[in-house]
């Protein structure tokens, strides 16, 4: 449904390489995640695929149509939710939806079923101006506007950034329902924990793809063993584990440290910590998260 | 324990809407205090009052010993502030940014020069002193932004989502800086949407619908709500928030 072949895009006369030789494919009906921090090139990829930017090199297609030759036809069949809220702040919820429906030559009534699940959550406030809405409601309105013309592909650029945990969960539940209806979705996020909601993901940093696979595949490719180290003095133990000469990597993950060792000698580490006077240290092997994998790939 | 922020029924109304409803809490010297809440819960309003930028409607609060009604200018000199959205001037060099902020905070000549040097040494940015901030990698920018926010050795630094959108390694390096500052006695008041970061705080408050729904150490909260991690604690508390629809 979406293909990119060696897409490269530079800015400032070539001095800034926003996207470097990126290739991937998204199958029909798939939920594909672009996972990476600010400046990774996520937004540039979205803008190339939605025909708003021409790539310097490479080819891309959306729903079988070429992003350069067939750009007008692509625009008819994709829905795009940009990272920055870009609806009309001075129009109400209802007016925004009507506006986007009209632009695509349709009406809210004709497509009510398409957006019903989401629209009903904001319908009680339909006469409120978009500028006066909370983050979570703006997000739902933007999604309604992106869906109103029954697109075959949805492009969602960081829909959950700056949104609280509860709204983030709700949003991903909504995406799950859209996927069930067969809509292909390309979504980007800086939150690594959201990766597991996707069928496949690309981990991306500084314009280049670090890895593409299913979330499970990425986790399975993590080399070596990962241990969680817990202690009552997390910051102190972090510094001590980092200072241990058998430690390969050591990062704080919430209340635990995630540690990899140069040789798989966990007794060595627990002996070292006991020697430092820790009595409450608990060490156990764990399965890596996507964030562990991302950190590992950054190091290479 | 020395108290650096103390609020008593701190309240802010906008017309009929109560953004912050009778907030009562204390923050202690040198602690890392996580200030969490659902979108629209009233965090930003509370922070603006504590920074001396917004007068409360009722209740009391003292920040660094100064009153939020009558001594706001004194408060502003004793606090630092950093957010992901606004921190440094891209078109100024590293040194110019340090000098600018130090000047704003009332430092002068020799003390600015001495501080600039020690700060550049500490950050190992001596080689980049004349580099425009816009040319710095994001991670360095962040470290510089944080250092600049505490250039005047404030009692408290307010960090408003300081790590949003940052890569996982840089995010953790940033927390090393936070710990380092807290170790030196700076009180850190921080908001974040990353629930793993809530675990790095000494204590965490969670605002829901304008009130503080819970305040305790991360361990205490997890025990009380019988959750394995802070994300589940947050979800339990904020799930039924009424204001999230507003």
Q: Is A169 on the interface with B (CB under 8 A)?
A: yes
Q: What's A279's domain CATH number?
A: 3.30.70
Which of the listed residues A195, A215, A235 is the one where a domain comes to its end? A215
The tokens for B236 are 């339990």
Question: pLDDT at residue A36 above 70?
Answer: yes
Q: Copy the structure tokens of residue B57.
A: 């409607």
Domain assignment of residue A234, given as a range: 226-299
Same domain for A273 and A189: no
pLDDT-based confidence at A114, cuts 50/70/90?
Answer: confident
Contact (Cβ atoms closer than 8 angstroms) between residue A21 and residue A190: no
Q: How far apart are the first and last CA of chain A?
A: 31
Within a domain: A221: no
A146 part of a folded domain: yes
Q: Is A199 in the same domain as A234?
A: no
Number of A/B CB contacts below 8 angstroms equals 96
Whole-angstrom distance, CA of residue A8 vs CA of residue A31: 23
Which runs of E-coded beta strand occur in chain B?
Answer: 3-14, 17-28, 32-37, 58-63, 66-67, 79-83, 156-160, 187-191, 203-208, 211-216
Instruction: List the CATH number of the domain containing B39.
Output: 3.40.50.300
Please check whether residues A155 and A81 belong to one and the same domain: yes
CA distance B9 to B7: 7
Q: Are residue A149 and residue A237 in the same domain, yes or no?
A: no
Residues A242 and A273 grouped into a single domain: yes
Q: Does residue A145 belong to any structural domain of this protein?
A: yes
Q: Report the alpha-carbon distance of residue A262 to residue A106 in Å, rounded.
A: 61
A234 pLDDT band, cuts 50/70/90, is: confident
Where residue A108 falls among pLDDT bands split at 50, 70, 90? very high
Judged by CB atoms closer than 8 Å, whether chains meet at B167 and A36 is answered as yes
Cβ within 8 Å, pair A39-B169: no
CA–CA separation, A191 vs A290, rounded Å? Answer: 10
Q: What is the pLDDT along chain B (246 residues), one digit of tens a residue?
A: 899 999 999 999 999 999 999 999 999 999 999 999 988 899 999 999 999 999 999 999 999 999 999 999 999 999 999 987 667 999 999 999 999 999 999 899 899 999 999 999 988 889 999 999 998 887 888 889 999 999 999 999 999 989 887 889 888 988 988 988 998 999 999 999 889 899 999 999 999 999 999 999 999 999 999 999 999 999 999 988 877 544
The chain A residue lying nearest B180, using CA atoms, is A235
Q: Is pLDDT at A279 greater than 90 in this prediction?
A: no
Structural domain including B117 reads 3-238
Residues A64 and A86 in one domain: yes
Contact status, residue B189 vs residue B205, Cβ threshold 8 Å: no
Residue B143 belongs to some domain of the structure? yes
Residue A282 counted as domain residue: yes
pLDDT at B244: 56
Collapse the DSSP code of A123 into the 3-class scheme (helix H, G, I; strand E, B; otherwise coil) and give the result.
helix
For B207, half-sphere exposure in the C-beta direction (CA atoms, 13 angstrom radius) is 29
Residue A234 phi, psi dihedral angles, 5° rounding: -60, -40
Average pLDDT, integer, range A159-174: 88
Number of domains in chain A: 2
pLDDT exceeds 70 at position A300? no
Confidence class for position A228, pLDDT limits 50, 70, 90: very high
- On whether residue B214 sits in a domain, the answer given is yes
- A251 vs B: CB within 8 A: yes
pTM of this prediction? 0.87
Specify if A143 maps to a domain. Answer: yes
- Asked whether residue B246 is assigned to any structural domain, the reply reads no
Distance CA B77, CA B62 (A): 14
Q: Do residue A209 and residue A100 come from a single domain?
A: yes
Label the pairing between strands A78-81 and A65-66. Answer: unpaired
> What is the arithmetic mean of pLDDT over A234-260?
91
Other C-beta atoms within 10 Å of B25: how many? Answer: 17
Task: Find the residue in A nearest to B195 (Cα).
Answer: A254
Tokens read off for A158:
């960081």
Task: Spell out which residues of chain A touch residue B200, defining contact as CB-CB under 8 Å.
Answer: 234-235, 252, 254
Query: Which of A192, A215, A238 is where one domain is finished?
Result: A215
Retrieve residue B111's tokens.
Answer: 């003390």
Alpha carbon of A239: minimum distance to chain B alpha carbons (Å):
10
Q: What are phi and psi of B220, to 5 degrees?
A: -60, -40
pLDDT digits (tens, 9 = 90+) for A147-166: 999 999 999 999 988 788 88
* Complex ipTM more than 0.85, yes or no: no
Number of domains composing chain B: 1
Average pLDDT of the segment spanning A7-31: 94
Q: Are residues A235 and A192 both part of a single domain?
A: no
Distance from CA of B66 to the nearest CA of A (A): 31
pLDDT score for B112: 94
Question: Which of A41, A195, A207, A235 to mutate against chain B (most B CBs within 10 Å)?
Answer: A235
CA of B182: which chain A residue's CA is closest? A235
**CB-CB under 8 Å, B195 with A255:** no
Answer whether residue B245 is part of any domain: no
Handedness of CA B112, B117, B122, B124 (dihedral sign): positive
Cβ of B138 within 8 Å of Cβ of A39? The answer is: yes
* Token pair belonging to A107: 């009406």
**Per-residue model confidence as pLDDT tens digits over B110-131:** 999 999 999 999 888 899 999 9
| CATH assignment at residue A80 | 3.40.50.300
A167–B244 C-beta distance less than 8 A: yes
Please give the average per-residue pLDDT across A103-120, as a whole number. 91
Identify whether residues A123 and A186 lie together within a single domain.
yes
Joined together, the tokens standing for residue B32 give: 């890392």
Task: Tell whether A156 is covered by a domain.
Answer: yes
A220 part of a folded domain? no
Does A36 reach chain B within 8 Å, measured CB to CB?
yes
């Amino acid at each position: 449904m979406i293909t990119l072949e060696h897409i490269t895009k530079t800015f400032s006369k070539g001095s800034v390489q926003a996207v470097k030789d990126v290739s991937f494919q998204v199958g029909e009906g798939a939920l594909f995640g672009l996972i990476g921090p600010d400046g990774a090139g996520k937004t540039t990829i979205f803008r190339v695929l939605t025909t708003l930017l021409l790539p310097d090199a490479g080819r891309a297609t959306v729903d079988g149509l070429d992003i350069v030759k067939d750009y007008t036809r692509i625009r008819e069949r994709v829905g795009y939710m940009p990272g920055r809220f870009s609806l009309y702040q001075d129009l109400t919820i209802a007016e925004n939806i009507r506006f986007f429906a009209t632009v695509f030559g349709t009406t809210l009534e004709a497509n009510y079923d398409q957006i019903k699940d989401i629209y009903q959550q904001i319908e009680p406030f339909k006469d409120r101006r978009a500028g006066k809405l909370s983050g979570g409601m703006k997000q739902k309105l933007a999604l309604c506007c992106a869906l109103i013309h029954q697109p075959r592909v949805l492009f969602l650029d960081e829909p959950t950034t700056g949104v609280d945990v509860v709204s983030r969960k709700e949003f991903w539940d909504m995406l799950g329902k859209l996927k069930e209806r067969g809509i292909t979705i390309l979504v980007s996020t800086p939150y690594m924990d959201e990766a597991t909601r996707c069928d496949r993901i690309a981990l991306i940093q500084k314009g280049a793809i670090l890895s593409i696979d299913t979330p499970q595949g990425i986790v399975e490719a993590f080399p070596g063993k990962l241990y969680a180290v817990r202690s009552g003095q997390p910051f102190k133990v972090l510094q001590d584990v980092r200072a241990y000469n058998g430690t390969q990597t050591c990062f704080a993950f919430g209340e635990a440290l995630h540690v990899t060792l140069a040789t798989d000698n966990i007794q060595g580490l627990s002996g070292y910590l006991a020697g430092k006077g820790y009595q409450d240290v608990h060490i156990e092997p764990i399965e890596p998260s996507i964030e562990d994998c991302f950190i590992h790939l950054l190091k290479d | 324990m020395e108290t650096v922020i103390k609020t008593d029924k701190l309240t802010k109304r906008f017309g009929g809407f109560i953004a912050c409803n009778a907030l009562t809490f204390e923050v202690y010297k040198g602690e890392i205090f996580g200030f969490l809440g659902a979108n629209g819960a009233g965090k930003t309003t509370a922070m603006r009052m504590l920074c001396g930028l917004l007068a409360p409607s009722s209740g009391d609060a003292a920040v660094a010993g100064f009153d939020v009604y009558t001594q706001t200018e004194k408060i502003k000199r004793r606090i630092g502030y950093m957010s992901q959205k606004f921190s440094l001037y891209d078109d100024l060099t590293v040194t110019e940014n340090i000098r600018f902020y130090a000047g704003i905070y009332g430092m002068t000549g020799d003390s600015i020069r001495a501080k600039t040097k020690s700060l550049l040494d500490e950050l190992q940015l001596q080689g980049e002193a004349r580099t425009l901030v816009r040319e710095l990698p994001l991670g360095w920018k962040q470290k510089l932004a944080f250092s600049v926010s505490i250039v005047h050795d404030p009692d408290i630094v307010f960090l408003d989502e300081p790590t949003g959108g940052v890569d996982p390694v840089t995010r953790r390096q940033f927390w090393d800086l936070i710990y380092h500052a807290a170790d030196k006695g700076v009180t850190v008041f921080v908001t974040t949407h990353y629930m793993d970061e809530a675990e790095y705080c000494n204590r965490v408050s969670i605002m829901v619908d304008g009130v503080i729904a819970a305040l305790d150490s991360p361990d205490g909260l997890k025990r009380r709500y019988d959750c394995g991690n802070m994300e589940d604690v947050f979800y339990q508390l904020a799930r039924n928030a009424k204001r999230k629809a507003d």
